[in-house]
Amino acid sequence: MAAVARYWVVSLPVQTSASSLWGRLQEAISKNSFDTPLYRFNTPDLRVGTLDSLLSLSDDILKSNSFIEGVSQKIRRQIEDLERTSGVESSALTVDGVPVDSYLTRFVWDEAKYPTMSPLREIVDSIHVQVSKIEDDLKVRVAEYNNVRSQLNAINRKQSGSLAVRDLSNLVKPEDIITSEHLVTLLAIVPKYSQKDWLSSYETLTSYVVPRSSKKLHEDNEYALYNVTLFGRVADNFKTSARERGFQIREFEYSPETQESRKRELEKLMQDQETLRGSLLLWCYTSYGEVFSSWMHFCAVRVFAESILRYGLPPSFLATVLAPSTKNEKKVRSILEGLCDSTHSTYWKSEDEGVVGLGGDADSHPYVSFTINII
């Protein structure tokens, strides 16, 4: 995983030249906050469209950003869960083979995927549709995987719970069960503290109980499992009397075929779980890269649109990516503010003379700024 978790995407208004402003920013960061990574954020020349279209886009762009960021986080959490349950070492997440932080700091617009002459709304909608499809696919794949996990967990609970509820088939051997024309063997769940009571009373719970036929087959922290052989015609009477004394009679029919079938079912479920987990993990790695790439293209649109709304036309701004430490945030904010010549910022104004922007972080500074959390 990337070392830096949080980045700022910032654009500053250009008064003379972008290269001059970039040099001044590099120098100021180097002098006053030298440990803050700083990169150019390569936004292409996108199609501006009308002010109305920009304002309309600004109404939806924060919501879309939250959605795309949320999907990327869902996939990342799923990856962490799968890596943990698989026991595999955590992998550095990548986009087209490039670590996600490097993809962000060296971002290059994909013209083939998102033609820059397309309207901004069209690009944003295209990104939203693609990420929505990935989210839907994630839900289906995770549900399939969780269904198999649930089935396995249910079987494991039956095999690991107390004797009162667990599957008894792997605790009982063929020689423990007698079944003939007249005789049946019942299985009794006896509280551990009541074992003496059971051994002294089971022969008299009803008539026609085979003397000394009960033996302990298994014991856990709470209960002991005993068998007992008696005539089939008094089995119901025996069950009633046993229940009155606090002994539970478990319904059980020994069947090698059933045991073999359960064993095969368990093996198949375990194999299915491993297969689904592996394929889901690979899908998540790929899909995280796709979503992250879409998100960075979205951020490029966002910084472009907001810079136009902030600084006016023609587009003239320097887009950057910074990763200040928490202790240096105020210092870096001061540097950025010092590089903004507010007297030359053209700002679009709304009817009440408020700054038109995309809300949140952006409106609290005299420059465009929003945060990207990648971990």
Task: List the single range of 3-12, 215-224, 278-287 with lowest mean pLDDT.
Answer: 3-12
pLDDT band of residue 343 (cuts 50, 70, 90) is very low
Q: How many CB atoms lie within 10 A of CB 28?
A: 18
Looking at the structure of the chain, the number of domains it has is 2
In angstroms and rounded to an integer, the radius of gyration of the C-alpha atoms of the chain is 34
- The angle formed by the CA atoms of residues 263, 151 and 224, to the nearest 5 degrees, is 65
**Residue 69, pLDDT above cutoff 80:** yes
pLDDT tens digits, 82-119: 999 887 777 789 999 999 999 999 999 999 999 999 99
- Flag whether 19 is in a domain: yes
Residue 224's pLDDT is what?
96
Tell me, yes or no, whether 11 and 75 share the same domain: yes
Tell me, yes or no, whether 135 and 277 share the same domain: yes
- Flag whether 314 is in a domain: yes
- Flag whether 224 is in a domain: yes
8 A C-beta contact, residue 2 and residue 68: no
Q: Can you tell me the distance from the alpha carbon of 190 to that of 201, in angstroms, rounded to the nearest whole number? A: 12
pLDDT band of residue 212 (cuts 50, 70, 90) is very high
Q: What is the CATH number of the domain that holds 121?
A: 1.20.1460.10
- Flag whether 163 is in a domain: no
Task: List the single range of 69-83, 125-139, 261-275 with lowest mean pLDDT.
Answer: 261-275
Boundaries of domain holding 108: 6-151+271-342
Q: How many CB atoms lie within 10 A of CB 117?
A: 9
**Residue 354, pLDDT above cutoff 70:** no
pLDDT tens digits, 21-54: 999 999 999 998 888 999 999 999 999 888 888 8
pLDDT tens digits, 233-243: 999 999 999 99
For the chain, what percent of residues have pLDDT higher than 70?
Answer: 93
Tell me, yes or no, whether 194 and 88 share the same domain: no
